[in-house]
Amino acid sequence: MRKTKMNKTKNKSRVVRRTKTHRRISTGIKNVHNLFILDRSGSMDKVRDVTIRGFNEQVQTIRDQEKKSKQTQIVSFVTFNQLYNEKFFNQKSSQLQELRAEDYIPDGGTALNDAVGKAVTKLRNELNGNKDTAVIVTILTDGEENSSREYTTQQVADLIKEVQDKLNWTVTYIGANQDVKLAAQTYNLKLSNTMRYDSDPIGTSKAFSKLSSARTLYSASLSTVKSVADVTTDSFFNSKNEVEDANS
Query: Distance between CA 78 and CA 214 in Å, rounded?
Result: 21
CA distances from 166 to 32, 41, 131 (A): 17, 32, 11
For residue 22, is it within any domain? Answer: no
Cβ 167 vs Cβ 157: under 8 Å? no
SS (H, E, C) 141-179: ECCCCCCCCCCCHHHHHHHHHHHHHCCCCEEEEEECCCC
Query: Distance between CA 245 and CA 77 in Å, rounded?
Result: 24
pLDDT for the residue 130: 85
For residue 1, is it within any domain? Answer: no
For residue 24, is it within any domain? Answer: no
Query: Please, what is the end-to-end C-alpha distance for the chain in angstroms?
Result: 77
pLDDT for the residue 29: 87
Tally of domains within the chain: 1
Q: Which residues of 10-44 are buried (b: 16+ CB within 10 A; e: fewer)?
A: eeeeeeeeeeeeeeeeeeebebbbbbbbbbbbebb
Neighbour count for residue 98 (Cβ, 10 Å):
12
Task: CATH number of the domain at 179, please.
Answer: 3.40.50.410
Q: Which residues of 116-140 are buried (b: 16+ CB within 10 A; e: fewer)?
A: bbbbbbbbbeebeeeeebbbbbbbb
Query: Distance between CA 166 and CA 125 in Å, rounded?
Result: 14
For residue 4, is it within any domain? Answer: no
Q: pLDDT, tens digit, for every residue of 166-201?
A: 999 999 999 999 999 999 999 999 999 999 999 999
For residue 112, is it within any domain? Answer: yes
Relative to beta strand 133-141, strand 170-175 is parallel
CA distances from 228 to 3, 79, 131, 194, 237 (A): 48, 27, 6, 21, 19
For residue 192, is it within any domain? Answer: yes
For residue 5, is it within any domain? Answer: no
Q: What is the mean pLDDT of the chain?
A: 90
For residue 9, is it within any domain? Answer: no
pLDDT for the residue 223: 86
Q: Could you tell me the residue range of the domain that residue 233 belongs to?
A: 30-245
% of the chain at pLDDT higher than 70: 89
pTM of the model: 0.88
Average pLDDT over residues 196-211: 97
The pLDDT-based confidence of 94 (bands split at 50, 70, 90) is confident
Cβ neighbours for 182, distance < 8 A, ≥ 6 positions apart: none
Burial of 232 (0-12, 13-18, 19+ CB in 10 A): middle
The pLDDT-based confidence of 27 (bands split at 50, 70, 90) is low
What are phi and psi for residue 200, nearest 5 degrees? Answer: -130, 170
Q: pLDDT, tens digit, for every residue of 113-137?
A: 999 999 999 999 999 988 889 999 9
